[in-house]
Amino acid sequence: MQNERENLSDRLLNFAASIVRLTLLLSKTVAGRHIAGQILRSSTSCGANYEEACGAESRADFIHKMQIVLKELRETLYWLKLSAKSFPDLAEYLQADLKEADKSVITAKTPIR
């Protein structure tokens, strides 16, 4: 289980870094700045909330914090999909982030043994 946690932690960190780079591409228009701000907030909070969950005081606390991670991942997924539809020239660039968001949701939903 420790490897799974470290792996997800690294993946969420890399995912947030990729989104930071994406926001630089998006922020050239009013709509792009709005989407960039939303996606930046939700994507970077995923990893931060996951790290907080790893230090949870109880199983119930861990589950609660993981629910927050899932909510943030789902929100990020929404903004990524909107970005792909709104900025078709970035759709190919967004594919890796969309896949990672989906994969992270599945990983985060997997019950702890």
Where do the domains of the chain lie? 2-109
d(C-alpha 39, C-alpha 53), whole Å? 21
Q: Which CATH class is domain 2-109?
A: mainly alpha
Confidence category of residue 47, pLDDT binned at 50, 70, 90 = very high
| Residues 21/44, Cβ–Cβ less than 8 Å | no
DSSP 3-state of 110? coil
The pLDDT of residue 6 is 62
21-29's contacts with Cβ under 8 Å and 24+ in sequence apart are 22/83, 22/90, 22/93, 22/94, 22/97, 25/90, 25/93, 26/83, 26/87, 26/90
pLDDT over 70 (residue 2): no
Q: What is the pTM of this model?
A: 0.82
Task: Give 15-46 pLDDT, tens digit per residue.
Answer: 999 999 999 988 789 999 999 999 999 999 99
